[in-house]
Amino acid sequence: MLVIQELCKTYNNGIEALKNISLEIPHGIFGLLGPNGAGKSTLMRTLATLQDPDSGTVTLDGTDLRRDLQQSRQNLGYLPQDFGVYPQVSAVELLDQLAVFKGFVNRKQRRAVVEEQLQLVNLFDHRHQQLGTFSGGMRQRFGIAQALLGAPRLIIVDEPTAGLDPAERIRFQNLLAEISQDRVLLLSTHIVEDVAELCPQMAILKQGAIVQSGSPLEMLDNLKGRVWMCPGEDLSEIEEQWALITTRMERGGRCTRVLSETQPSSKFQLVDPDLNDVYFTALM
């Protein structure tokens, strides 16, 4: 289990990126949702020990991550948001090099580990191909292969599905589900659907603070009977009287959703809340 206690971080320009963050994250995929600028990457980099918090602690299975950085990094895999690769180098060459950095000094053992990872992410047949020729989905799967080197207990994945086509996204989601079986996998994203589809537990971050955490199913339950929809987007009336959740396209037309304990007017019908409703009400 990953335990985050009272993490704070203020940048030199005065921006408070993390305001007293505490979370307990069990094995499996944990989704961290939040708009751009909420502090997700700051939190991810802090957990990846690439950046120091001003205060607070992070422990993985009882051990403080900052106590022995070398040891912690062995237990940690990280797929950053902008994952640069050397375009002229082949997948197997780069992974082999990265395995050296992870401490695999024995060549034979290293080759076995590298090949095993390439098999797992389904890139073995492309292992001699230059990384510059990889599609977005292949690059992300390569990113997972490097994050998995050394069988880390904590894997941190920062906004992985942006820019993937639907088929690649599904393949990538399946891969994340597969590798999260017996470890903590933290998935940071601003794509609500990724969390809805993948994560049994989640938290929503807003301006550096956790505004909601728990299971998406429970959060949906909390909203049951309180989300109302009407066709159209006459906001003038709505914003004054009820809490506007969103206006969005539904079944080919624009619709407005509001949060209300009672039926706002006869134009509104009760709808099943979805995770977008959870997300936008949490950010209100």
User: Could you list the residues that contact ligand ADP (CB under 6 A)?
Assistant: 11, 13, 15, 17, 34, 36-42
Q: Which is nearer to ligand ADP, 28 or 37 (CB)?
A: 37
Taking the least distance from each CB to ligand ADP, the nearer of 22 and 174 is 22
**Is the CB of 140 or the CB of 188 nearer to ligand ADP?**
188
Output 38 or 238, the one with its CB closest to ligand ADP. Answer: 38
- Give which of 203, 197, 188, 131 is closest to 169, Cα–Cα: 197
Contact 212, 219 (CB under 8 A): yes
Task: Return the number of the residue (11 or 86) whose C-beta is nearest ligand ADP.
Answer: 11
Minimum separation from the CB atom of position 186 to ligand ADP (A): 13
The four Cα atoms 81, 85, 87, 91 give a dihedral, to 10 degrees, of -110
* Min CB(275)–ligand ADP separation in Å: 18
Q: 28 — phi, psi (to 5°)?
A: 105, -175
Angle at 159 between CA 156 and CA 164, to 5 degrees: 125
Least distance from ligand ADP to the Cβ atom of residue 157, Å: 13
User: What's the first-to-final CA gap in the chain, in angstroms?
Assistant: 30
Between residues 94 and 275, which has the closer beta carbon with respect to ligand ADP? 275
In the block, residue with structure tokens 């909390």? 222
Q: List CB contacts of 33: < 8 A, sequence separation 6 or more.
A: 189, 190, 192, 195, 202, 203, 204, 205, 279
Across the chain, which distance is largest between two alpha carbons, in Å? 72
Shortest distance, position 32 Cβ to ligand ADP, whole Å:
9
As measured in angstroms, the least distance from the Cβ of 99 to ligand ADP is: 29
Question: Please, what is the minimum distance in Å from the beta carbon of residue 117 to ligand ADP?
Answer: 27
